[in-house]
Amino acid sequence: MNGRMLVVFSALATSACAVQYPQSAQEFRDYVPGATFGKKQSFEAKRSVRDIARTFQAKAPECLNVSVRTISQTGTSYQNILATYKPTVLVNGEKVELHLQRHYQGGGIIIPGKEPEGGLYMLVADATAIDRNRTRVDLYAPTHGADAIIRAVTGWATGENVGCPDMTKN
Amino acid sequence: MRRLAVVLVVLSTGCSGLKTYPADAGGNLAVRAQLDGAVRATLHVHRVDAQCRTEYRGSVPLERPVALLNVPAGETSYLVATFDTSSFLSGSRSTNAGALLRPAAGRSYELALRYRDDIYDVSLREVDARGTSREIPRRDLGACRGS
């Protein structure tokens, strides 16, 4: 999702006068299911929540702690945008959470509202133990522009693919 | 260390400035690449000194399934794989993944690069003289600076 789409996504998702971005992972969870460009997906992983926590703790810093610079140039314009991603993994007993935030710099990107520290929330994944070997995973994410991240996080949860998403494809 | 990937929506062509790292049959590092058809991969080799400063040694375009490189034993090298994609609508995109390697004498190494459906994986294995293989956790340059 590029900067322009981010602004559109945010503007449509909030009222025209007062843009209220989710300021926490919980606010993002509450916001996404009713958003035009947001979706919640749920699935069951046949792994323990502990294994999923270990994978999230290993892969999130390796794959998501990145910056992506986008340079676009036409005959009359030049834009240079730096997107900085911040992953956070929280492990709390039988639940593990993965939060991903994104902060834009440069390129005339305007965030018309208060941005939480670390950037706007882009994805939240919750893994909750069902029993010793099964875990429910809830993914909150935009409908467009996060496909590679969603597939990667799904692969980390199921253990079927532990590759990194190409963050330039968001 | 935070990695930087680059999207160039419009990229001017020009000299790449890359020098070729020698790839030959006598190498101790086998680089295997499995890539989607539209993806080009290149391996860049840097020498790393005791202060974790890097010195660029050369690059190998991974145009064949396996490339053999000789990476000096007893020295730390930083191997950076770049995956480049390009399309008319989305421009040129490049993402990279680095791995520190300090080869031991008498051992060989395998670097496997995979890129499929916008997901990539880089893994490194060490093979001893008896053929026993073990995975080496991938550490980027930040691990050197943090140690």
Number of Cβ pairs < 8 A linking chain A and chain B: 78
Tell me, what's the pLDDT at A13? 47
Which residues have a Cβ under 8 Å from the Cβ of A92 and sit 6 or more positions away? none
Question: How far apart (Å, rounded) are the C-alpha atoms in residues A161 and A148?
Answer: 12
Tell me, what's the pLDDT at A34? 86
Report the residue of chain A nearest B139, measured CA to CA: A62
Asked if A111 is an interface residue toward chain B (Cβ–Cβ < 8 A), one would say: no
Nearest to A93 by CA among A154, A49, A144, A134: A49
Tell me, what's the pLDDT at A83? 92
Residue range A15-47, pLDDT digits in tens: 445 578 999 999 999 999 888 889 999 999 999
Q: Are A122 and A3 contacting, i.e. CB atoms less than 8 angstroms apart?
A: no
Tell me, what's the pLDDT at A12? 43
Share the mean pLDDT of chain B: 87
Residue B13, pLDDT above cutoff 90: no
Residue B102, pLDDT above cutoff 70: yes
Residue range B15-50, pLDDT digits in tens: 466 899 988 777 999 999 999 988 999 999 999 999
Q: Are A141 and A1 contacting, i.e. CB atoms less than 8 angstroms apart?
A: no
Q: Which residues of B touch A155 (CB under 8 A)?
A: 119
Interval A149-159 mean pLDDT: 97
Tokens, residue B49: 């000194």
Banded model confidence at residue B115, pLDDT cuts 50, 70, 90: very high
Give the global pTM: 0.83
- The helix, strand and coil proportions of chain A, stated in percent and rounded to the nearest 5, come to 30, 40, 30
With an 8 Å Cβ cutoff, are B5 and A167 in contact? yes
Residue B112 CA to its chain's centroid (Å): 9
Q: Which residues of B touch A72 (CB under 8 A)?
A: 9-10, 91
| Of A66, A84, A152, Cβ closest to residue B119 | A152
Banded model confidence at residue A7, pLDDT cuts 50, 70, 90: very low
Which residues have a Cβ under 8 Å from the Cβ of B147 and sit 6 or more positions away? none
| Of B2, B8, B114, Cβ closest to residue A163 | B114
Tell me, what's the pLDDT at B14? 41
Tell me, what's the pLDDT at B135? 94
Which of the residue ranges A109-113, B4-8, B94-98 has the most confident prediction, judged by mean pLDDT? B94-98
Residue B146, pLDDT above cutoff 90: no
Residue with tokens 């959470």: A97
User: Is the ipTM reported for this complex over the cut 0.95?
Assistant: no
Residue range A80-113, pLDDT digits in tens: 889 999 999 999 989 999 999 999 998 778 887 8
